[in-house]
Amino acid sequence: MLIYILRRLLYVIPIALGVTVVCFSLVYIGPGDPLSSILPEDAPQEVIDRIKAEYGLDKPLPVQYAVWLGKALIGDFGTSIVTGRPVLVELGPSLVNSLILAIGGAMLGFIVGVVLGGLAGYYHGRPADRMFTALAITGVSVPHYWLAIVLVIIFSVELAVLPSLGMTASGSTEFTFSAENFQHLVLPVIALSVIPAGIVTRTVRGAVAELLNMEFVEALRSKGLSEAKVIKHVTKNAAPQVLAVMGLQLGYLLGGSILIETVFAWPGTGLLLNNAIFSRDIPVLQGTILALALIFVALNLTVDIVQATLDPRIKR
Amino acid sequence: MTTTATPVDDRTEAPAFVAARRGYWGSVFTRLSHDPITIVCAVIVMIILLAAVFAPWIAPHDPYKTSMLKRLAPIGTDGFLLGTDELGRDMLTRLIYGGRVSLFTAIAPVFTALVVGGTLGIIAGFVGGRVNMIIMRTTDVFYAFPSILLAIAISGALGGGILNAVLSLTLIFVPPICRVAETVTTQVRNLDFVAAARATPAGTFRILRVHVLGNVLGPVLIYASSLVSVSIIIASGLSFLGLGVTPPEADWGLMLNTLRQSIYVAPVNAALPGVMIFVTGMCFNLMSDGLRTAMDVKL
């Protein structure tokens, strides 16, 4: 097992390096100079040169990359062009806020997906199966940002029972657990959960239907085990696959919540990215994407290791 | 039918084999024609597509003509079947015109990625060795990003605009298509009939075209078709964020964004553009599922 983990870790290092290269290149694929957004157009050449030297932009690209990577490794992502604060200071609270949403959405999606998928797989080919499968397809096809707007229209505009904007009742950007703040969570979490719910439903349905067809299930039944015991066996066998899908979905939610955060004005990484894009605040853009991608890589690694622990056949 | 047993290797063979050659696609077509869901979805997609193409002749109004007096008219208003938007422009007209940009930004990236990713994947799978390693490890890096995040990051860095949106979407679809093409090619490459073909005077290009492409195209096409619904959601999402087309151009995602301020006044109008994204995406998804079943492809 230890060897497997070490091998996976070794495999992750080049990928993580590749991720940093992509994030670093983001500055250079854009139009114009990275400095054009902070310098006035009529700035004299000597000022441009001085600022370039200050930011290290006068050096060749590989050197710039090495310097940037070295700083990023010790947590220094530079300073925001707009606020002048270190990127890490901007990033930390946003990341926590996004995590609250992502974990909520993943949990709800997981519960709904396991229940619907389990029933669909158990009643394979019957009306219940068809209904839940149709629901799952709807879940993965619905544009979640639109669903968010529809939810706001129903619950905030028409029924006026839930808040439509912000993360907390007081307007603070720090989440504390209270009944009032919980209300702010409901709509974004539901909107975020539909895609994972649909995907988990499909996965669970496929796994359960396949397992129920296997000989060992027939053997268990002919041995006289109760249906509940049989289901327990099936659950154990389906778990690794389902957990793997779920882990990936959590990562997608963390990166993909930008649209939902925009709808609900949720002060997370999505809002941070959105502001960074429109003010062309490249250090914040780079830092946020790098952090999210590295979390995604780490999550993938964790999923692989957990999966291998649960199902030893995987580590060849 | 005695000819069915004859191995139809060369697809440009004499027309005597027409019946046999139509066998596979004929059965796919028969199966599709017995699948009502796929047919209904195909009809809906065709209607939306044709409406978008022939928009100037079909649309009842000018998509850019604003009217301060007729702002946010509800559905069913005289002359405005689906009401008007926040600037008094006809919703139906703008939804028809919006299909142009929305469908283009959804389909063009998948198509480009199919060509680029498919080629890269076949090369990686067929050549193998170091070439395979370089191509596949590079795609692994792109797998390390959640796809929406990467699309937003790239088009955010590139700046708004339709072409930048298409480019960023293409970039996120190339790696997964490449991976599918590589997997299938590697499987096919090691099969006996490819070895047999190598023993004949058939050149590498001919083996690639007939044996590899013939077997890889199906699964890759099916996979790419399943990406169209993802593409339409992400593409509209980009315009929703203001990263796609620029106003006053009509686009479903952008309309959804600009009408968002009006949810308290005209909630139904505000939700309409999203219905188009939803219906189109869902139809593409179901069509892809139907095609997969009909072609009997496992991915």
pLDDT digits (tens, 9 = 90+) for B120-138: 998 998 888 898 888 888 8
Number of domains, chain A: 1
d(C-alpha B259, C-alpha A301), whole Å: 41
User: Residue B49's CB: how many other CB atoms inside 10 A?
Assistant: 15
Per CB-CB distance under 8 Å, the chain A contacts of B140 are 15, 18
- Start-to-end CA distance of chain A, whole Å, equals 11
Picking from B102, B164, B232, B233 by the largest number of A CB atoms within 10 A of its own CB, the best residue to mutate is B233
Tell me the range of A60-64, B140-144, B181-185 where mean pLDDT is highest. B181-185
Provide the residue range defining the domain that includes A109.
93-269
| Ranges of chain A whose pLDDT falls below 70 | 30-43, 54-58, 167-176, 178-179, 314-316
d(C-alpha B177, C-alpha A210), whole Å: 26
Domain range list for chain B? 24-61+82-295
Numbered residues of chain B with Cβ closer than 8 Å to any chain A Cβ:
137-138, 140-142, 144-149, 152-154, 156-159, 229, 233, 236-237, 240-243, 256, 260, 263-264, 267, 270-271, 273-275, 277-278, 281-282, 285-286, 289
**Residue A215's pLDDT is what?**
84
Is the confidence metric ipTM above 0.90 for this complex? Answer: no
Q: Do the domain assignments include residue A162?
A: yes
State whether residue A65 sits within 8 Å of chain B by CB.
Answer: no
Q: Do the domain assignments include residue A296?
A: no
d(C-alpha B289, C-alpha B226), whole Å: 8
- Start-to-end CA distance of chain B, whole Å, equals 32
**Position A164, amino acid:** S
CATH number of A137's domain: 1.10.3720.10
d(C-alpha A182, C-alpha A191), whole Å: 15
The domain defined by B24-61+82-295 carries CATH number 3.30.470.20: no
d(C-alpha B79, C-alpha A141), whole Å: 32
Given an 8 Å threshold on Cβ–Cβ distance, is B242 in contact with A300?
A: no
Q: Do the domain assignments include residue A298?
A: no
Given an 8 Å threshold on Cβ–Cβ distance, is B270 in contact with A258?
A: no
Whether the predicted pLDDT of B245 surpasses 70:
yes
DSSP character at residue B261: G
Q: Do the domain assignments include residue A138?
A: yes
Residue B117 — very low, low, confident or very high, per pLDDT cuts 50/70/90?
Answer: very high
Residue B113 CB partners (closer than 8 Å, separation 6+): B169, B170, B173, B174, B177, B224, B227
DSSP bridge pairs for B84: B90
Helix pair angle (A269-278, A87-122), 10° resolution: 130
Q: Do the domain assignments include residue A177?
A: yes
Nearest to B263 among A18, A149, A285 (CB): A149
Q: Do the domain assignments include residue A28?
A: no
**Residue A171's pLDDT is what?**
62
| A143: three-class secondary structure by DSSP | coil
* Chain centroid offset of residue B264 CA: 34
**Residue A141's pLDDT is what?**
85
pTM: 0.84
Condensed to tens digits (0 to 9), the pLDDT of residues B8-64 reads: 444 444 444 444 456 777 888 888 888 888 889 889 989 988 888 887 887 777 777
Q: Do the domain assignments include residue A75?
A: no
Nearest to B281 among A27, A141, A158 (CB): A141
d(C-alpha A194, C-alpha A104), whole Å: 12
**Residue B170's pLDDT is what?**
92
Whether the predicted pLDDT of B108 surpasses 80:
yes
**Residue B9's pLDDT is what?**
46
